[in-house]
């Protein structure tokens, strides 16, 4: 007999899907119904995600094996059917997604959900794809969910139209389509070699391959890794990112902040499952580390050179991807917990920053953020387009300027990982655990640990310089300054995200403990594998 709690893992996918489908039936003019439905859907998702998180933490008694919930779709046992698996990592990512989603949704209701059609259904579908990608335990199903949120993201990126969005959208779609082909090639190759698509089963079967098949398997994994690295915005596969993210309207860009982290999640998940049988190149080990360092370097140079604030945030996303890849590429498990902490903090911050950047743009007249020299040198034209959202109808909150300044300052501190907020806690934990890692034959920290420390500190310094510079231009430029109008619906989500970062710094201890537990369960994938393989199908009782 299944209690209602057993059906929770499927809800993060079903709820947004049904909500999105219902919204398609409503005209865009019925805004009240649409937003009501959207709020209802995200509230349910938040409740479900938080409950799942508590369940994986073991605070609600379940019959879950090692606090890992396995949901058999259609009651087919693994590896024959598709399974949904909720472990600590998935649950954390689900909560993160929905917190970001709710903030972006509130923000969008101020202006952006009206500038084009079908904003709300697409928004629900992107949430569905993200949730599904975090939950699924099947490789092909992972591809399908990737495509779902990517397809929705294509629509959302183009939301509001305009030649800049269409042009960067074209590049974005092309890159992601090629990424999808790589994913398909690798998945089918993996199936051809191992005969399974279930990720847990794959972890078992990968160890039983003979030498020749193993080579083919490693090739497949390398292609899979490339596909994930494209999503994770790793250098040199990330040139599409700054343009695409800067072109997207603010709430969409905020939601996009988590999309690169799906790639990281997929790398971590597959790397964890393939670890006992020797992780292939792209998943952990030297390659991921080297790529991470390259990404950090690229991001550092990019953020220093960039003058457009939207693209600046894009580069800070690349920096966070680089930091994560470098840290996760280090040997051992001690860095995984702090990396996850950094991931949470950076997603919340960059999400808030994308929204903030748009609000701040209202204060400036054109060109105030560009050096007058480069103005002439590059012959920049006026590009204040119809996207300008300064005419938002809303209650102008008093001291809007103070709010913007304070939020920008907080964001900058968070992104640059300066004390006292969560960014600092994360980076400090990363650096200290990197230095504690000792080489096998040396007594001190290894060379790679020192490189990691240097790269992270330099990128942090570059971020401080870049953000300080744009802060000066944006806020201390009195002759071109306009006092912005701010709707309360735009101020609330930014504050929510920043306050959750501050809460994250205050409760850093318990959160870090939980993430360390997450990391150790990732290090021991046999729990995950056992939970999936041994999950028995449910006997139907009383027609249920």
Partner 1 sequence: MEIVYSLAIGVLAGSGIWLLLRPRTFQVIMGLTLVSYAVNLFIFGMGRLSVGAPPIIEAGKVVDISNYADPVPQALVLTAIVIGFATTALYLVVLLALRGLSNTDHVDGTEYNS
User: Position of tokens 């991921």?
Assistant: 288
Is residue 167 near partner 1 by the rule CB under 8 A?
A: yes
- Nearest-approach distance from CB 158 to partner 1, in angstroms: 7
Name the nearest CA neighbour of 34 among 118, 116, 157, 110: 118
Q: CA 16 to CA 22: how far, in whole Å?
A: 10
- As a whole number of angstroms, the distance between CA 165 and CA 234 comes to 22
Q: Which of 181, 388, 450, 507 binds partner 1 (CB under 8 A)?
A: 181
Name, in order, each residue with C-beta under 8 angstroms of 160's C-beta and a sequence gap of 6 or more: 112, 115, 116, 249, 387
Q: Which of 173, 206, 279, 313 binds partner 1 (CB under 8 A)?
A: 173
* Binding window for partner 1 (CB under 8 A); candidates: 165-173, 230-238, 322-330, 488-496: 165-173
Q: Please, what is the angle between helix 119-135 and helix 88-108, to 10°?
A: 170
Q: How far is the CB of 452 from partner 1 (least distance, A)?
A: 35
From 144, 333, 465, 502, residue interacting with partner 1 (rule: CB under 8 A): 144
Q: Which is nearer to partner 1, 104 or 197 (CB)?
A: 197
For the bound state, the minimum distance from the C-beta of residue 188 to partner 1, rounded and expressed in Å, comes to: 4
Of 101-109, 174-182, 250-258, 367-375: span binding partner 1 (CB under 8 A):
174-182
For partner 1, which is the closer residue by CB, 222 or 297? Answer: 222
- Closest to partner 1 by CB, 35 or 188: 188
Between 42 and 187, CB nearer to partner 1: 187
The residue with tokens 């996303």 is 317
Beta-bridge partners for 86: 69
Q: State which of residues 14, 57, 73, 184 lies at the interface with partner 1 (CB under 8 A).
A: 184
Nearer to partner 1, 83 or 486 (CB): 83
For residues 75 and 385, which CB has a smaller minimum distance to partner 1 in the complex? Answer: 385
The first and second tokens of residue 464, run together, are 């401080």
Interface residue with partner 1, options 18, 22, 115, 140 (CB under 8 A): 140
Which 309-348 positions form the footprint of partner 1 (CB under 8 A)?
Answer: none
* Least Cβ distance, residue 196 to partner 1 (angstroms): 9
Q: 251 with 112: CB under 8 angstroms?
A: yes
Cβ proximity to partner 1: between 227 and 330 the closer is 227
Q: Does 192 bind partner 1 (CB under 8 A)?
A: yes
By the rule CB under 8 A, 475 interacts with partner 1: no
Helices 336-361 and 400-415 meet at what angle, rounded to 10?
A: 150
Interface stretch with partner 1, choices 35-43, 168-176, 311-319, 433-441 (CB under 8 A): 168-176
Tokens in use for 262?
Answer: 């799906």
Q: Is 161 in the site for partner 1 (CB under 8 A)?
A: yes
Helix (H) or strand (E) holding 156: helix 139-157
Angle at 123 between CA 118 and CA 129, to 5 degrees: 125
Binding residues for partner 1, total number by CB under 8 A: 29
What are the DSSP calls for 298-338, one per residue? HHHHHHHH--SHHHHHHHHHHHHHHHHHHHHHSSSSTTHHH
Contact residues for 308 (Cβ-Cβ < 8 A; gap 6+): 246, 369
Preceding peptide of 236 cis, ω within 30°: yes
**Rounded-to-integer distance, Cα 44 and Cα 60, Å:** 19
Would you say 166 or 395 has its CB closer to partner 1?
Answer: 166
* Least distance (Å) between residue 537 CB and partner 1: 19
Helices (H) and strands (E) in the chain, counts: 21, 2
Q: Which residue has the tokens 């292609």?
A: 223
Segment contacting partner 1 (CB under 8 A): 173-181, 324-332, 484-492, 497-505? 173-181
* Alpha carbon distance 257, 235 (integer Å): 17
75: left (phi over 0), alpha (psi -120 to 50) or beta: left
Among 101, 121, 169, 322, contact with partner 1 (rule: CB under 8 A): 169
CB atoms inside a 10 Å sphere around CB 454:
12
In the set 151, 281, 297, 465, which binds partner 1 (CB under 8 A)? 151
* 187 counts as binding partner 1 under rule CB under 8 A: yes
Given the rule CB under 8 A, which of 18-26, 54-62, 160-168, 304-312 is the region that contacts partner 1?
160-168
The residue range among 18-26, 30-38, 166-174, 312-320 that interacts with partner 1, by the rule CB under 8 A, is: 166-174
49-57, 104-112, 164-172, 342-350 -> range binding partner 1 (CB under 8 A): 164-172
Q: Rounded to a whole number, what is the largest CA-CA distance in the chain?
A: 78
Interface pick for partner 1 out of 35, 65, 188, 480 (rule CB under 8 A): 188
502: its two tokens: 């501050």
Q: Which of 54, 178, 208, 406 binds partner 1 (CB under 8 A)?
A: 178
Instruction: Tell me how far, at minimum, the Cβ of 239 lies from partner 1, in Å.
Output: 13
> Among 95-103, 153-161, 418-426, 459-467, which window interacts with partner 1 (CB under 8 A)?
153-161
Q: Which of 166, 305, 399, 499 is close enough to bind partner 1 by CB under 8 A?
A: 166
Give me the DSSP letters along 173-218. HHHHHHHHHHHHHHHHHHHHHHS--BHHHHHHHGGG--HHHHHHHH
Residue 222 found at the interface with partner 1 (CB under 8 A): no
Contact between 185 and partner 1 (CB under 8 A)?
yes
Rounded-to-integer distance, Cα 228 and Cα 182, Å: 9
Binding site for partner 1 (CB under 8 A): 140, 144, 147, 151, 154-155, 158, 161-163, 166-167, 169-171, 173-174, 177-178, 180-181, 184-185, 187-189, 191-192, 197
């Amino acid at each position: 007999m299944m209690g209602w709690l057993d059906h929770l893992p499927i809800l993060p996918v079903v709820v947004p899907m049904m909500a999105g489908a219902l919204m398609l039936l409503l005209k865009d003019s019925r805004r009240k119904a649409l937003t009501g439905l959207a709020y209802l859907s995200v509230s349910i998702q938040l409740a479900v995600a938080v409950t799942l998180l508590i369940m994986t933490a073991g605070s609600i008694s379940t019959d879950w094996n090692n606090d890992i919930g396995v949901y058999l779709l259609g009651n087919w046992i693994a590896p024959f059917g598709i399974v949904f698996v909720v472990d600590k990592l998935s649950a954390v990512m689900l909560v993160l997604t929905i917190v970001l989603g709710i903030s972006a949704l509130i923000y969008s209701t101020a202006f952006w959900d009206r500038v084009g059609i079908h904003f709300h259904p697409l928004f629900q579908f992107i949430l569905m794809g993200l949730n599904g990608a975090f939950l699924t335990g099947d490789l092909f199903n992972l591809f399908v969910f990737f495509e779902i949120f990517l397809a929705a993201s294509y629509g959302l990126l183009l939301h509001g139209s305009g030649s800049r969005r269409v042009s960067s959208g074209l590049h974005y779609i092309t890159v992601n389509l090629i990424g999808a082909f790589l994913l398909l090639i690798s998945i089918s190759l993996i199936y051809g070699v191992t005969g399974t698509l279930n990720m847990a089963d794959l972890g078992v079967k990968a160890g039983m391959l003979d030498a020749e098949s193993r080579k083919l398997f490693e090739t497949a994994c390398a292609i899979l890794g490339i596909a994930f690295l494209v999503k994770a915005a790793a250098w040199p596969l990330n040139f599409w990112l700054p343009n695409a993210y800067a072109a997207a309207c603010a709430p969409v860009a905020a939601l996009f902040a988590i999309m690169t982290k799906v790639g990281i999640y997929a790398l971590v998940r597959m790397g964890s499952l393939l670890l006992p049988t020797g992780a292939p190149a792209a998943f952990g080990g030297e390659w991921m580390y080297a790529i991470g360092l390259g990404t950090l370097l690229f991001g550092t140079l990019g953020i220093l050179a960039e003058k457009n604030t939207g693209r600046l945030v894009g580069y800070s996303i690349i920096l966070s991807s680089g930091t994560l890849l470098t840290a996760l590429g280090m040997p051992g498990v001690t860095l995984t917990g702090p990396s996850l902490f950094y991931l949470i903090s950076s997603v919340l911050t960059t999400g808030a920053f994308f929204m903030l950047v748009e609000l701040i743009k209202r204060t400036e007249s054109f060109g105030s953020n560009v050096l007058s020299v480069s103005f002439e040198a590059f012959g920049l034209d006026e590009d204040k387009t119809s996207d300008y959202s300064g005419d938002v109808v809303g209650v102008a909150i008093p001291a809007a300027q103070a709010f913007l300044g304070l939020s920008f300052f907080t964001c900058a501190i968070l992104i640059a990982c300066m004390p006292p907020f969560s960014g600092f806690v994360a980076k400090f934990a990363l650096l200290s655990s990197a230095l504690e890692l000792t080489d096998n034959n040396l007594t001190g920290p290894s060379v790679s640990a020192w490189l990691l420390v240097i790269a992270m500190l330099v990128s942090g310094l570059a971020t401080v310089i870049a953000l300080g510079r744009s802060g000066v231009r944006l806020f201390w430029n009195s002759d071109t300054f306009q006092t912005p109008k701010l709707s309360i619906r735009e101020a609330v989500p930014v504050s929510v995200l920043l306050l959750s970062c501050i809460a994250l710094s205050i409760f850093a201890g318990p959160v870090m403990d939980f993430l360390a537990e997450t990391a150790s369960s990732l290090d021991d994938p046999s729990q995950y594998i056992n939970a999936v393989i041994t999950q028995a199908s449910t006997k139907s009782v009383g027609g249920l």
